[in-house]
């Protein structure tokens, strides 16, 4: 494998909650990055809930990330932990008799970064989703040490969720590299006012505003990518 002129770009995508569009944004980001980087790959370190794909268990988020990637990776690298039950990872892992090893997940990311020019890592649930009785998704993000992109699901309560998550990200010594406003509730009042407030308060660039989509299409997303990501 030829040596790169620079290390692979890697980003960690988290959200204000579950169901706010992290996978849509991660897949859209992969398509956007592919304009500048030949080999892009998505990673879902922990996925809870399975579907059958070509006779094998997989996860809907993982399937979407693989479809948006330009290079294939072994399942043990792009989705090291696949848990059957669609519940919080610490519960799903306990039910499956699995111990989530953050060190192993970091090693898998390191191996992926050797295969690609850009890696988009999608976290599970919100930033502090429990992975065990003692560790959370924040511990994984901190161990990876990557710039963080925050997906804000625009709905009632999102301001509190966004500010708390940004505070938690920075408390871990991580960089909030940007955020995305995703209109998950088409009936939300004062959406523009909410976005304007967060632009003033989050102290990070707004990289995309996603209108409500009844059928999400990651290829349709437009990002204002920082020059360092290009």
CA-nearest of 15, 91, 20, 84 to 47 is: 84
DSSP-assigned states of every residue in 17-38: STTSSHHHHHHHHHHHHTTT-S
Cα separation, 192 vs 134, whole angstroms: 39
Active site residue 22: no
Q: Return the structure tokens found at 146.
A: 């990557």
Catalytic residue among 22, 31, 37, 44: 44
Cα separation, 147 vs 49, whole angstroms: 27
- Write 72-77 long-range contacts (CB < 8 A, 24+): 72/41, 73/41, 73/43, 73/112, 73/115, 73/116, 76/108, 77/43, 77/108, 77/111, 77/112, 77/115
Would you please indicate which residues are annotated as catalytic (active-site) residues? 44
């Amino acid at each position: 494998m030829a040596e790169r002129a620079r290390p692979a770009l890697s980003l960690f995508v988290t959200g204000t909650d579950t169901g706010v569009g992290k996978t849509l944004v991660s897949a859209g980001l992969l398509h956007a990055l592919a304009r500048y980087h030949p080999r892009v790959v998505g990673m879902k370190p922990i996925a809870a809930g399975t579907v059958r794909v070509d006779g094998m268990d997989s996860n809907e988020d993982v399937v979407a990330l693989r479809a948006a990637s330009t290079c294939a990776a072994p399942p043990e690298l792009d989705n090291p932990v696949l848990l059957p039950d669609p519940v919080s990872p610490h519960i799903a892992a306990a039910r499956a008799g699995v111990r989530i090893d953050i060190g192993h997940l970091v090693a898998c990311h390191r191996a992926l970064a050797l295969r690609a020019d850009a890696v988009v890592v999608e976290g599970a649930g919100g930033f502090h989703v429990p992975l065990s009785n003692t560790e959370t998704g924040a511990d994984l993000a901190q161990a990876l040490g990557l710039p963080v992109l925050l997906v804000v699901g625009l709905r009632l309560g999102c301001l509190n969720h966004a500010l708390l998550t940004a505070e938690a990200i920075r408390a871990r010594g991580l960089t909030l590299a940007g955020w995305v406003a995703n209109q998950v509730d088409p009936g939300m009042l004062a959406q523009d006012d909410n976005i304007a407030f967060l632009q003033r308060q989050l102290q990070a660039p707004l990289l995309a505003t996603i209108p409500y989509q009844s059928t999400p299409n990651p290829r349709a997303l437009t990002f204002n990518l920082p020059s360092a990501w290009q």
